[in-house]
């Protein structure tokens, strides 16, 4: 059975763009919730001083990350003027397609730093949700 995936990215907020970014991330979260129901959790965090943003999402299986990246890809590009992506880390076993899409996202938004950390031990009680038509 496929293991769960956890995605974490960290970005530097461009100077003077915090207010625009706060509006955009609210819209992004709503878009992801409405269009990618396979995502189990999706959270965006801004540092207290508003200079750093971290995005965390959880997927019960690798195909969910693929769908998230394919659906959200065009929306992510809109953030290029608001932030500079510093790193993407994926904990789990993403597909090769997902890794390619992540590298494209990292390059578009500022950095080519994509790290995949494969599981060494542990377990998951998360189960994939039923496929939606």
How much is the average pLDDT of 8-28? 96
H/E stretch holding 57: strand 52-59
pLDDT tens figures, 55-97: 999 998 999 999 999 999 888 888 999 999 999 999 999 999 9
pLDDT at 130 over 60: no
pTM: predicted TM-score of the whole model, two decimal places: 0.89
Domains of the chain: residue spans and CATH: 5-117 (3.30.70.100)
Q: What integer pLDDT is reported at residue 133 of this predicted model? A: 45
CB contact set of 92 (below 8 Å; sequence gap of 6+): 3, 4, 5, 6, 59, 62, 116, 117, 118, 119
Task: Please report which helix (H) or strand (E) contains residue 98, including its range.
Answer: helix 96-109
């Amino acid at each position: 059975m496929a293991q769960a995936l956890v995605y974490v990215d960290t970005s530097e907020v461009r100077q003077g763009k915090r207010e625009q970014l706060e509006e955009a991330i609210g819209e992004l979260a709503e878009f992801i919730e409405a269009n990618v129901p396979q995502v189990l959790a999706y959270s965006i965090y801004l540092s207290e001083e508003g200079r750093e943003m971290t995005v965390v999402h959880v997927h019960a299986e690798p195909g969910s990350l693929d769908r998230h990246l394919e659906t959200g890809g065009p929306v992510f590009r809109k953030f290029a003027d608001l932030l500079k992506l510093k790193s993407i880390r994926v904990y789990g076993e993403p597909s090769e397609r997902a890794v390619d899409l992540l590298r494209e996202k990292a390059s578009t938004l500022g950095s080519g730093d994509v790290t995949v950390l494969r599981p060494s031990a542990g377990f998951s009680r998360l189960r994939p949700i039923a496929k939606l038509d």
